[in-house]
Amino acid sequence: MTDSIPRKNMIEAIRDALDVKMAEDENVVVFGEDVGYFGGVFRATDGLQKKYGKSRVFDTPISELGIIGAAVGMGAYGLRPVPEIQFADYILPAYDQITSEAARLRYRSSGEFSAPITIRTPAGGGIYGGQTHSQSPEALFTHVAGLKTVMPSNPYDAKGMLIASIEDDDPVIFLEPKRLYNGPFDGHHERPVTPWSDHDESLVPDGHYTVPLGKASIVREGEAVTILAYGTMVYVALAAAKETGIDAEIIDLRSLLPLDEEAITKSVQKTGRCVVVHEATRTCGFGAELIAIVQENCLHHLEAPIERVTGWDTPYPHAQEWDYFPGPARVGKALIKVMEN
């Protein structure tokens, strides 16, 4: 039966999701820097302007604050805008509009207005983008009440979660791991990878389907230790488990806010050990929240201290990217350490 399901990379899956929603709902509009005529720097919107016209897919000035400010107004008056911020590193000029306006609009207006905005932006490293094209700012948004923050790790989830985000009545920060745009990898630089399970996540059905926000995915079952990861780090965790031979259960969080605390708790209570992995800088990163949740819910089940593997607390380097980038060796050391306790 899978022979009839098309195989797509993440860029193609994202474009497919946008196409599906634009065909279904004339209120969905797509805009941002170079997303119209050029089709986006990563080609995720390629062909959409030709299909739906310049009034629904259009280019904007280089003003992130203006892009999101316009999206807030559009959402308040009935549209479902899907603005793109060209790189997550560029999102800070729009932070005030996102956190002070979009996130609060429904609460501030007692439900009279809402901001059904899905903000797409490429995040993370792995492509030698240097410090201005490689950051992972997810923790800046998971701290904000009223926002939802997601980061898929594969094409199937990317399409389903993007459709779910566009249909959501609250603003969603949709982070796209650019290292995975053209396909997964085995956790080591450029080598290719085969599907991690019996279900091939590059098989992306045509038409409408959703992957619910707030639900994690167990991508590898295990009994010895739980690894919590998301985005590109899912593949690094899989490589580390394989190379160390440790029977790790790997949870792809994919939705950071809302977060599937039930799945986390159930897994860690089963294994008694936990390793948290993320690409962003360590201090005040999302991993700190994950550790707090595990401590609160699983303290009496833990057989060892929780280990954390993250990016360094430095600006993102260029030449030393793969030393900064948490790789299988660093995750493997954490797995071995947690198993020795």
Mean pLDDT of 31-39: 96
CATH number of the domain where residue 35 is located: 3.40.50.970
| Residues 160, 12 within the same domain | yes
Higher-confidence position of 199 and 175: 175
| Residues 223, 155 within the same domain | no
| Residues 111, 172 within the same domain | yes
The pLDDT confidence band at residue 84, using thresholds 50, 70 and 90, is very high
Mean pLDDT of 183-200: 55
Structure tokens at 39: 């089709």
Mean pLDDT of 251-265: 98
Q: Locate tokens 């009279």: which residue?
A: 112
| Residues 122, 241 within the same domain | no
Mean pLDDT of 258-279: 98
* Any domain includes 212: no
The pLDDT confidence band at residue 182, using thresholds 50, 70 and 90, is confident
From 152, 180, 208, the end of a domain falls on 180
In the predicted structure, residue 260 carries a pLDDT above the cut 60: yes
CA distance linking residue 132 with residue 190, whole number of Å: 21
From 154, 180, 206, the end of a domain falls on 180
pLDDT at 192: 41
Distances (CA, A) of 225 to 234, 247, 272, 332: 15, 7, 7, 12
| Residues 23, 170 within the same domain | yes
Q: 133, 208, 278, 318: which one is catalytic?
A: 133
CA distance linking residue 201 with residue 211, whole number of Å: 12
CB 18 within 8 A of CB 162: yes
In total, how many domains does the chain have? 2
Mean pLDDT of 310-317: 84
Distances (CA, A) of 336 to 27, 100, 158, 191: 52, 44, 32, 24
Mean pLDDT of 103-111: 93
* Any domain includes 200: no
* Any domain includes 306: yes
Predicted confidence (pLDDT) per residue in 227-255, tens digit = 999 999 999 999 999 999 999 999 999 99
| Residues 9, 137 within the same domain | yes
pLDDT at 3: 66
Question: What share of the chain in percent tops pLDDT 90?
Answer: 83
The pLDDT confidence band at residue 196, using thresholds 50, 70 and 90, is very low
* Any domain includes 211: no
The pLDDT confidence band at residue 188, using thresholds 50, 70 and 90, is low
From 163, 180, 197, the end of a domain falls on 180
Mean pLDDT of 48-54: 98
pLDDT at 194: 46
CB 80 within 8 A of CB 110: no
* Any domain includes 261: yes
Other C-beta atoms closer than 10 Å to the C-beta of 49 total: 21
| Residues 83, 165 within the same domain | yes
Chain centroid to Cα 272, Å, comes to 27
* Any domain includes 32: yes
pLDDT at 128: 74
In the predicted structure, residue 187 carries a pLDDT above the cut 80: no
Higher-confidence position of 322 and 312: 312
* Any domain includes 186: no
| Residues 173, 101 within the same domain | yes
Judge whether 278 counts as a catalytic residue. no
Q: What is the 3-state secondary structure (H, E, C) of the chain?
A: CHHHCCECCHHHHHHHHHHHHHHHCCCEEEEECCCCCCCCCCCCCCCHHHHHCCCCEEECCCCHHHHHHHHHHHHHCCCEEEEECCCHHHCHHHHHHHHHHHCCHHHHCCCCCCCCCEEEEEECCCCCCCCCCCCCCHHHHHCCCCCEEECCCCHHHHHHHHHHHHHCCCCEEEEEEHHHCCCCCCCCCCCCCCCCCCCCCCECCCCCCCCCCCCCEEEECCCCEEEEECCCHHHHHHHHHHHHCCCEEEEECCEEECCCHHHHHHHHHHHCCEEEEEEEECCCCHHHHHHHHHHHHHHHHCCCCCEEEEECCCCCCCCCHHHHCCCHHHHHHHHHHHHHC
| Residues 294, 167 within the same domain | no
Question: What share of the chain in percent tops pLDDT 70?
Answer: 94
- Who's near 65: CB < 8 A, 6+ residues apart? 93, 94, 96, 97
In the predicted structure, residue 153 carries a pLDDT above the cut 60: yes
* Any domain includes 225: yes
CATH number of the domain where residue 228 is located: 3.40.50.920
In the predicted structure, residue 197 carries a pLDDT above the cut 50: no
| Residues 230, 117 within the same domain | no
Mean pLDDT of 323-334: 90
The pLDDT confidence band at residue 211, using thresholds 50, 70 and 90, is very high
Residues of the domain holding 278: 217-340
What Rg, from alpha-carbon coordinates, does the chain have?
19
| Residues 163, 275 within the same domain | no
| Residues 168, 20 within the same domain | yes
